[in-house]
Copies of this chain bind each other. A is one copy, B any other.
């Protein structure tokens, strides 16, 4: 429809980068583009920690489940949901902040995602590529310690950025009529639609792996969701002062 929408539609995760560095002025500009995203009630609850290459970065790569691109990416950013800043703001006016609400956890986390997506899009508009690293939540307490995160701050996800050194295909998404409903939630036809979609995902993997992997979307999801999903998250978030009520 236009170059911007074409850019959005051409997104794919990039996990292999050339050695070409990204200068700090560019990183600053990307983060500023992130700040320009909407923020719930102007809370601006996202803090980005840019982790330079070296020991700390290597440790993060291991904590994320041995993802070597976390160590190798020219730039690695950790997006943190941050309500400590608000405690500071309250302190400036002798006000006592009521914290621990699930709503606050949610808005701060959403702020990070809106912010990060702007960073991703801005990076892609410069010809860079990237991949989000949810794997930081595998050992989230260790990550928080490593980055010296205080109470009311937690790492939502990471983002690797760099010049792409691979050119993966765009991964097919669910059919529009599964994802876009009108006026009310009605999924009565979705099983059938997902079955049709499954075939295209299987084909995507077959082509991409030279026949080594053939897996449909629903197979992949069902294999994943029979397992526990990071059961340490709620206790960890509680220790950081989140989701206490």
Q: Using CB atoms and an 8 Å cutoff, list the residues of chain A in contact with chain B.
A: 1-5, 7-11, 13, 27-29, 31-33, 35-38, 40-44, 46-52, 56, 80, 84-86, 88-93, 95-99, 101-104, 106-107, 109-110, 112-114, 116-118, 120-122, 125-126, 131-132, 134, 137, 147-150, 153, 156-157, 170-171, 173-174, 176, 178-187, 190-191, 194-195, 217-231, 233-234, 237, 243, 245
- Whether B149 lies near A48 (C-beta < 8 A) is no
CB distance from A74 to the nearest CB of B (A): 15
Given A103-B230, A120-B38, A170-B36, verify A180-B31 contact (CB < 8 Å). Answer: yes
Q: Indicate if the CB atoms of B226 and A2 lie closer than 8 Å.
A: no
| CB < 8 Å neighbour of A8 from B41, B113, B118 | B118
Contacts of A122 in B (CB 8 A): 4-5, 8
| A4-B7 in contact given A50-B182, A174-B35 (Cβ < 8 Å) | yes
Chain B residue nearest to A218 (CB atoms) is B89
Question: Told that A90-B225, A234-B245 touch, could you supply 8 new A-B pairs with CB distance under 8 A?
Answer: A49-B180, A93-B218, A95-B222, A95-B226, A97-B222, A101-B228, A106-B233, A231-B245
